[in-house]
Amino acid sequence: DVKVTQSSRYLVKRTGEKVFLECVQDMDHENMFWYRQDPGLGLRLIYFSYDVKMKEKGDIPEGYSVSREKKERFSLILESASTNQTSMYLCASSLRALYGYTFGSGTRLTVV
């Protein structure tokens, strides 16, 4: 089974800190995605990547950046954390559309 591993389940950071959320997948998937999940808003796509060193903005990229230096790792960066970035962050990977996504367990980030 494909595994997508997010480095932290719970994270508490201070306003203004630079925050790194790490995601690693072990099945050589080309496509990787970062979402945030908030009550009533569902999943909102932040960034995605179809290949190493490639990134595309999703629906809500403001305040975030990403890095994909290796195929298996896709990092989400909060340049200067703010309280409105308190959320559940979900990473996913996929091979092709028909296979759907495999999700990590999520990182619940609280910015204080």
Partner 1 sequence: AQSVTQLDSQVPVFEEAPVELRCNYSSSVSVYLFWYVQYPNQGLQLLLKYLSGSTLVESINGFEAEFNKSQTSFHLRKPSVHISDTAEYFCAVSDRGSQGNLIFGKGTKLSVKP
Q: Mask 32-61, x = binds partner 1 (CB under 8 A)?
A: -x------xxxx-x--x-x-----------
- Binder among 12, 105, 110, 112 for partner 1 (CB under 8 A): 105
Q: Which of 78, 90, 109, 111 binds partner 1 (CB under 8 A)?
A: 90
Query: Using an 8 Å Cβ cutoff, are 81 and 14 in contact?
Result: yes
CB 32 → partner 1: shortest distance, Å? Answer: 10
How many other CB atoms are there within 10 angstroms of residue 56's CB atom? 12
Question: Would you say 48 or 74 has its CB closer to partner 1?
Answer: 48
- Nearest to 32, CA basis, from 11, 52, 62, 18: 52
Q: Are 76 and 88 in contact (CB under 8 A)?
A: no
Q: Considering the rule CB under 8 A, would residue 95 count as an interface residue with partner 1? A: yes
Token pair listed for 3: 């595994």
The residue range among 12-20, 63-71, 72-80, 90-98 that interacts with partner 1, by the rule CB under 8 A, is 90-98
- Closer to partner 1 by CB, 4 or 19: give it: 4
Distance, in Å, from the CA atom of 17 to the CA atom of 46, rounded to the nearest integer, reads 19
